[in-house]
Amino acid sequence: TILSQIGWRVSVIDRGYKHWRGLVNRQLYDTPFPAPIVLLGGGTGTGKTDILHHAHALGAQVIDLEGMAQHRGSVFGSTGGQPSQKLFETRLTQAIAALDPARPVLIEAESNRIGAIRLPPTLWDAMRNAELVEVSAPLDARANYIAHRYADLTRDDALLWKTLDGLRKHHSAAQVQEWRAMARQPAELARSLIALHYDPRYAKLSVRSAELDHLALPDLSQDRLKRAARTLCDSLSKPAMKS
């Protein structure tokens, strides 16, 4: 094809797009999730996504929902435009097809929406019944982690204020104005958002699961997060988690 001649990777869908969408719909809407799920939970700013990536590098079976949805899973989560629901479902179907059903799969605990993306019902049902590894860390460590992770946002006053204004449906105008005044103090802003917005909403919206383990991290350095991932992988490899 012309596209392949100019260097694009081109694939032909066997039996056409409608057939492919039928396969996607059956997998995500009709078929039980094929592998046991372990959720990685914890409040915003506890390093869950980094732990997930480190665990994958160590050989754990992982599905990165935030990566597929191109969203960091919080009110400041957009990473530059989300895919369509159908593209997200295609990515998810491909990830599910690659799973070993005999091994647990690690997924970050989410609500049933990631930004504008809806989690398909069979995945959401499996997540609601999954065991949970909870991650916790001190408030100051979380605030500094968030300030670093969202540095792109805090450098742009207009974007930050627009994002904070989106919280008016949850908080008073006075509270939002107080947060806007913290624009030049990203760690202080993050600390306040954790206490007044993130943690209360996490408690309200998070999946209620049986806790398998609790990773209490004294800091959120990359070395600490790598060690947490190793501990998590060791837990996943236990015989009880393979059944």
Residue 62 three-state SS: strand
Which pLDDT score is estimated for 241? 53
Percent of residues, the chain, with pLDDT higher than 70: 86
pTM across the whole model: 0.86
CATH architecture of 32-242: 3-Layer(aba) Sandwich (3.40)
Cα radius of gyration (the chain) = 20
pLDDT class for 6, splitting at 50, 70, 90? very low
| C-alpha pair distances (Å), 65 with each of 4, 8, 113, 197, 219 | 30, 26, 10, 22, 25
pLDDT class for 17, splitting at 50, 70, 90? confident
Any idea what the Cα angle at residue 71 is, between residues 87 and 178, rounded to 5°? 150
Report the distance separating Cα 96 and Cα 91, nearest Å: 9
Which residue is listed with tokens 């450098």? 155
pLDDT class for 8, splitting at 50, 70, 90? very low
- Over residues 25-46, the mean pLDDT reads 95
Query: Residue 74 pLDDT more than 50?
Result: yes
Name the residue ranges covered by the structural domains of the chain.
Answer: 1-31, 32-242
Question: pLDDT (tens digit, 9 = 90+) per residue, 110-128?
Answer: 889 998 999 999 999 999 9
Which pLDDT score is estimated for 212? 78
Six token digits for residue 167: 């919280």
Neighbour-count burial of 230, counting CB atoms closer than 10 A to its CB (0-12 exposed, 13-18 middle, 19+ buried): middle
Provide the residue type at 75 as one letter: V
Question: pLDDT (tens digit, 9 = 90+) per residue, 190-216?
Answer: 999 999 999 998 887 665 667 778 999
